[in-house]
Copies of this chain bind each other. A is one copy, B any other.
């Protein structure tokens, strides 16, 4: 972080946001008034007022951390957002682009000229540039590429070649390396030649002449040991070294389990190629869990809350389409029993309960199993145990809640047999939910697919159609 930037508590950032929103509102108000005056006065007054607001807004932005500016931009409607955006210098625009959400970044980039984009991005590192690259126009990337030196070009090429969920995508290239045959005194003198160390430098990497990683030298060992000691004497050789094509997820787990601040990344020949730092991991963890929560609600990606109606429709339509199909299938299952419903209309009122509770219970099971699979804690042997347990839970819930509803059905419609059918149908549908809740994610995992995606839609489809079929089927068999 740059020295001159203020670090604010969340409440202070929100306060700053509110002040800017007020300024912007006043600005719009005045603009509206001016537009209603005659043209003569118009220009002068608008210019004056505009300048005054601009100065005040700029002052609020001064010293704000790029992450806080990103936060403010995300909270502003498009017109205001672009007004504030244009007040930032190019260099800060580059830093802010790295911090805003994907959806908001798109709106900003779309509003910028190619030259402005080049100016904003040219101060960024190779790994930062790689993060922006997918959103930048081809021509801008070419310009930026030409402005890099050979090393940086190589790093940019490398960083862009890794898939999004790999360690390579989290990696940066700012590391400090030392040799093992020197004393700590030499290392200390070497460090004093730096103006500053890269962010999150908690350890130096010990490499040989061919850049093979020999070990790591944590800063605290450097500080507590005698300067006469050799690096090789105190360096740690049992460090966690990542590979650039490892899954980002497994790196994140290592950071969490071992409380790491940074970790070296090596190529297949053990040559040091970069490092991963905890801030990249924190962002990854946050984004990962965000997208899980969004996916569960059927949102393709995080939405800019001020996105147009159309882009929101696009973000949401796929899930609604899938649900429409499954709902239609369930509706056809009911359609097949229309004769029974005509004879006993109570069935129409009771059937959604059976289907609904099945869906809820199935989602509980599937959430649990998906989590266990994600942690790699489910062995084939455990699968059978889990299945038996989930069936047990379903049977108990079915008899308890199904029994209660059976009594209610009896009381409402005066038919013991209807009550018994209700109880049986609920129990059977909960057991169906348990079975499918265990086997859908297991099968998806075995097929090498992510069990978190789509499991919930699938199980609701099964418990809806299944619930209607079981209840109406039992009723047709035993009541009519």
In the complex, A377 has a CB within 8 A of chain B: yes
Provide the residues of chain B in CB contact with A83, threshold 8 Å: none
CA distance in complex: A437, B264 (Å): 46
The complex places the Cα of A71 from the Cα of B199 at a distance, in Å, of 31
Which residues on B sit within 8 Å (CB–CB) of A285? 282, 285-286, 289
- Of A38-46, A142-150, A292-300, A439-447, which binds chain B? A292-300
Which residue of chain B is the closest to A256 with respect to CB atoms? Answer: B282
**Is A376 a contact partner of B14 (Cβ separation < 8 A)?**
yes
A269 at the interface (CB under 8 A from B): no
B-contacting residues, A211-238, CB 8 Å: 219-226, 236, 238
Our pick among B11, B225, B239, B361 for the contact of A7 (Cβ within 8 Å) is: B239
Q: How far is the CB of A292 from chain B (nearest CB, A)?
A: 6
Which chain A residues numbered 330 to 370 have a C-beta less than 8 Å away from chain B?
Answer: 330-332, 334-335, 338, 341-342, 345-353, 355-357, 360-361, 363-364, 366-368
- Give the CA-CA distance A258 to B71 in the complex, in Å: 12
A25 on the B face (CB < 8 A): yes
CB proximity to B under 8 Å, residues A408-425:
408, 412
Answer yes or no: A375 CB below 8 A from chain B CBs.
yes
A405 within 8 Å of B (CB atoms): yes
Q: Which residue of B195, B393, B412 is within 8 Å of A313 (Cβ)?
A: B393
A352 touches B367 (CB 8 A): no
Partner of A261, one of B200, B224, B401: B200
Chain B, Cβ-Cβ closest to A395:
B309
Compute how far the CA of A246 lies from the CA of B8 in the bound complex, rounded to whole angstroms. 13
Residues 435-468 (chain A) with a chain B CB within 8 angstroms: 464, 468
Whether A352 contacts B381 by the Cβ 8 Å rule is no
Report chain B residues within 8 Å CB of A375. 71, 74-75
Residues of B within 8 A of A286 (CB): 256, 285, 289
Q: In whole angstroms, how far apart are the Cα atoms of A222 and B224 in the complex?
A: 13
**Of the candidates B294, B298, B331, B401, which one forms a contact with A320 in the assembled complex, judged by CB atoms under 8 Å apart?**
B401
Q: Provide the main secondary structure of the chain A interface.
A: helix
A246–B12 CA distance with the chains assembled, in angstroms = 13
Q: Give this chain's copy count.
A: 2
Q: A346 → chain B, closest Cβ, in Å?
A: 7
Q: B289 to A67, Cβ gap below 8 A?
A: no
Most buried by B among A191, A367, A401: A367
Contact indicator A393/B255 (Cβ below 8 Å): no
| Least CB separation from A263: chain B residue | B7
- Asked whether A312 and B201 contact (CB < 8 A) given A289-B293, A367-B294, the answer is no
B-contacting 9-mer, from A47-55, A130-138, A382-390: A382-390
What is the CA–CA distance of A342 and B1 in the complex, to the nearest angstrom? 70
Q: Answer yes or no: A192 CB below 8 A from chain B CBs.
A: yes
User: Are the CB atoms of A199 and B259 closer together than 8 Å?
Assistant: yes
Partner among B74, B223, B261 whose Cβ is within 8 Å of the Cβ of A188: B223
Q: Per-residue 0/1 for A72-88: is the Cβ within 8 Å of any B Cβ (1 yes, 0 no)?
A: 00110100000000000
Q: Which residues of B contact A376 (CB under 8 A)?
A: 10, 14, 17, 75
Could you say which residues of chain B place their CB within 8 Å of the CB of A200?
202, 259, 261
Residue from A191, A250, A258, A356 with most neighbouring chain B CB atoms (10 Å): A356
On whether the beta carbons of A196 and B219 are closer than 8 Å, the reply is no
Q: Among B65, B192, B302, which residue has its beta carbon within 8 angstroms of that of A258?
A: B65
A296's partner among B9, B296, B302, B464 (CB-CB below 8 A) is B296
Residue among A18, A282, A338 facing the most chain B CB atoms (10 A cut-off): A282
- Report the bound CA distance from A185 to B3 in whole Å: 23
B364 and A352 form a contact (CB under 8 A): no
CA distance A350 to B328 in the complex (A): 8
Q: Given A324-B353, A353-B324, check contact A11 B197 (CB 8 Å).
A: no
User: Which of B221, B349, B405 is A338 in contact with, Cβ under 8 Å?
Assistant: B349
**Binary interface profile of A, 234-267, with partner B (CB < 8 Å = 1, else 0)?**
0010111000001101100111111101000000
Other than the given A71-B257, A327-B356, 18 more pairs (CB < 8 A) read A75-B382, A77-B382, A194-B224, A197-B224, A219-B223, A261-B278, A278-B278, A278-B282, A281-B282, A293-B296, A303-B368, A309-B389, A312-B393, A320-B361, A328-B408, A331-B352, A352-B352, A352-B464
Could you list 10 A-B pairs, sorted by A, with CB under 8 Å? A18-B379, A200-B259, A259-B279, A261-B278, A289-B292, A292-B293, A305-B378, A321-B401, A331-B353, A342-B345
